[in-house]
Every structure is written in structure tokens, then in C-alpha cells.
Amino acid sequence: MTQAATSVHEIQENLPGPRVLLADGAPITLESGAELGPVAVAYQTWGTLNAERSNAILICHALTGDQFAVGIHPITGKEGWWERMVGPGKPIDTDRFYVICPNCLGGCMGTTGPAAINPETGELYGTSFPLITIRDMVNVQAMLMDQLGIEKIMSVVGGSMGGMQVLEWAARHGDRVVSAVPIAGAARHSAQNIAFHEVGRQAIMADPDWCDGFYYKEGKRPEAGLSVARMAAHITYLSEPALWRKFGRALQDRYTKSYGFDADFQVESYLRHQGASFVQRFDANAYLYITRAMDYFDLESEFGGDLANAWRNLSARFLLVSFTSDWLFPTSESKEVVRSLNRAGRNVSFVEVESDKGHDAFLLEEPDLFATTRGFLDSVARDLGV
């Protein structure tokens, strides 16, 4: 089953795992002022909530992630994107903690997004879906936590866009956050990152099969455009040293250059494969909406130009992690957050992990990340008596 083979909507309605309707299906108000409803949230959980309801860890996924952090992915058949981090005996230990990972608002894996039915028209939203923000995503997660009966969250953890959500949680729902772990994140999206996102969006919107966002009813999918968007983004997830180490200038299945436009170099076939496999599992409109939400994110400006103002009224402990070779969410962005937390007198740990794997490092084998996260969560759990 791939999203290409079946309608995006059909897939989203038939994914395994729990899915709840927020606010009994009543519309919710978005940051833009628009109303959206009904809103459903699809999520996965692992472990057991203790009697005190004090051992919940919320995982916020990245731009193209989803709720299937652990276990076989229902579309790709591959293992979850955070198997290394989450599970029995892992740093986020499902033998001790109750772990929840929801699909984000605007996503394409069961939570309401552009491929959901617009109740006003009875048709799929497409680009009639309202713009959403990181704040909206987090508000929806908070409503989910309410419905699950979880008032305080032992730790909110996430990488990349997930890290943005962690910061939003702490800034706007600080009374519910016992600890926060933003990994390879940022308190605002940089100009360069907005620029790369815009290239991806333009690639999608330039594809005639996008049909102004109403491709669902035309039975089309802007696969070429989405694939180009993914390829461009994928370069930004890796470091130049990682690309060089993995591929160098090695030729693909050939001893000599083809003198043509086939994928002569391994790095080309790798990118093409990334593009082609991505379109099997992701919806182009969701890509547009979620990238836009990231672009809009700017906690500093929302808190009067001083990020420290975001952290004045909370008691959460923080652990920030960045990676030396990450040029998409570089260490400098994490340090800005660390400095602001220090200005606000908060309890904050910061580790810059030595890695040549680029932004993707947060998804990969990074013992320093694992040991740091494990140590931090152990300590938070001990304080709570979990």
C-alpha cells in the first residue's frame, strides 16, 4: 500500500493505531483566527501510564516524520524513525515511561490536514485548508493530552521541527511541562531555511499535477514536484563531509562516465531514490502547510524581541542538544535558546554532539545523544519519584 497507489484520504482513514476527535468534533480556533473542525488526531503510544500519571513523555516529530516513531511503518514497511531512541531499555525507556507520539496537525498520517474532508464542501480540503502554525500544532497536542487525562508531561522531546514544538510547549504551556528536550531545534526559522522551503514549495506548485492544490479530486499527485522538493531538502539534512564520506565522486554502476543525464554519480541516484520513495508516503499539500508553519515560527518576536520573556513563568528543566556539522539548525541557534534560558534563570543543560552526519544526526546512531538523553530523563524521573 502506498499513498501513490491509493487515495491519500483513504489511507489516512485506515491507518493502524488510535485516533481521537478533539472537542467532540467542535471547531478549534487557529492562531490565524480561522476556525477548523472537526479535528482528529492520530497517535501511537508505548509503555504504560503509571497510577500518578507522572511518567508521560510526549514526542514531537519532524517535518516529514509521523507518529510511527517505533515499529514497522504501515506504508513503507520500514522500522520507525526513532527506534534507536525509544523502546524497552532505550534512552526513552518504554519499560519505565509512557510515550505518546501524535501525528502533527496539517500532517498526512491520520491527523486532520489538507487531505481531510472539508465539512463545508464535503470534498477534501486541498488548499482550502487553513494555514496552521507551530502554535496550532502544539495546541492540538495539548488538547490530546487533556483527552488522555495527562495534565503534567514528564518530558516533551523532539528534533528539528519537533524541537520547535518543544520550545512552543515550554513557552505557552509551561505549567504542564516538567522537562523539555529540544534537539537540533531553533526558536525561529532562519532566512536560509525559509529560502530552501520556498524552493520546495515552488517545485510542488510548478508541477501541473498539483492543480492549485486540488489534485485529489483530479486523481493526480504532483509527484515530480514533491520529489524535487525532497531532493533539495535532503541535501540540507546532510553535511558536506557526510556526503563526501558516503559517496565522494563515486560513479553509479558504471566504470566510466555515461556522458548523459542519467544518474552517473552515486550521490545522484541516492537523491533520486530519496525523492521517489518520499512521494510514496507523503502528501504534497501537507508538505506545503507544514513547511509554512515552520517558516512562521519565531518565538523571539512573539515575546517582545527577547526570547528570555518566553521562559519567565515556568519551572521546567531543559536539555538542548545540537550537532557540530548541522548547518540547517546549527549549534548557534541552540545556543541562542540556551542564553535566553540562562537570562531567565532557568535550569538548562546543553550538549553539542561531535558528529559529521549533519542535521540528520538526531535520527542516527549518536551514542553521545543517547547517553545524554538517558541521563537527563533518569534525573527528571528521579526528581518526580517515577
Report if residue 32 touches its own copies, rule: CB under 8 A: yes
Of 25, 88, 119, 248, the one binding its own copies (CB under 8 A) is 248
Residue 37, burial from CB neighbour count under 10 angstroms (0-12, 13-18, 19+): middle
Segment interacting with its own copies (CB under 8 A) among 3-11, 45-53, 200-208, 340-348: 200-208
Sequence-separated (6 or more) residues with CB below 8 Å from residue 255: none
Spell out a b/e string for 259-279, using b for 16 or more CB atoms within 10 Å of the CB, else e. Answer: eeeebbbbbbebbeebbeebb
Give the dihedral sign, CA 108/113/117/123: negative
Segment interacting with its own copies (CB under 8 A) among 115-123, 164-172, 288-296, 369-377: 288-296
- The cell for 139 is 495546541
Residue labelled with grid coordinates 482550502: 128
Report if residue 127 touches its own copies, rule: CB under 8 A: yes
Report if residue 34 touches its own copies, rule: CB under 8 A: yes
Give the dihedral sign, CA 232/141/172/374: negative
CB of 31 to its own copies, least distance (A): 8
Query: Cα–Cα distance between 307 and 250 in angstroms, integer?
Result: 45
Q: Which is nearer to its own copies, 34 or 143 (CB)?
A: 34
Instruction: Choose the catalytic residue: 325, 326, 334, 340.
Output: 326
Q: Which is nearer to its own copies, 224 or 308 (CB)?
A: 224
Contact 92/373 with Cβ under 8 angstroms? yes
Of 224, 308, 344, 384, the one binding its own copies (CB under 8 A) is 224
Pairing state of beta strands 98-102 and 28-29?
Answer: unpaired
Say how many C-beta atoms besides its own lie within 10 A of residue 147's C-beta. Answer: 14
Say how many C-beta atoms besides its own lie within 10 A of residue 245's C-beta. Answer: 12
Contact 317/348 with Cβ under 8 angstroms? yes
CB of 265 to its own copies, least distance (A): 5
Q: Which is nearer to its own copies, 157 or 228 (CB)?
A: 228
CB of 56 to its own copies, least distance (A): 32
Fill in the DSSP letter of residue 18. Answer: -
Asked if 326 is an active-site residue, the reply is yes
Query: Cα–Cα distance between 26 and 38 in angstroms, integer?
Result: 6
Report if residue 303 touches its own copies, rule: CB under 8 A: no
- The cell for 370 is 543517547
Q: Which is nearer to its own copies, 204 or 381 (CB)?
A: 204
CB of 245 to its own copies, least distance (A): 9
CB of 134 to its own copies, least distance (A): 13
Contact 134/31 with Cβ under 8 angstroms? no
Main-chain phi, psi angles of 366, to 5 degrees: -135, 90
Q: Which is nearer to its own copies, 306 or 383 (CB)?
A: 306
Instruction: Convert residues 152-191 into a mask of x (bound to its own copies by CB under 8 A) and - (unbound).
Output: ------------------------------------xxxx
Of 115, 231, 377, 386, the one binding its own copies (CB under 8 A) is 231
Sequence-separated (6 or more) residues with CB below 8 Å from residue 302: 171, 310
Segment interacting with its own copies (CB under 8 A) among 154-162, 165-173, 246-254, 369-377: 246-254
Q: Give 44's strand partners.
A: 101
Length of the chain: 386
Of 298, 352, 356, 378, the one binding its own copies (CB under 8 A) is 298
Q: Which is nearer to its own copies, 155 or 227 (CB)?
A: 227
Residues involved in catalysis: 160, 326, 359
Judged by the rule CB under 8 A, the positions of this chain that interact with its own copies are: 32, 34, 127, 130-131, 188-192, 194-196, 198-199, 201-203, 205-208, 224-225, 227-228, 231-232, 235, 238, 240, 243-244, 246-249, 257, 259-261, 263-265, 267-268, 271-272, 275, 288, 292, 295-296, 298, 301, 327
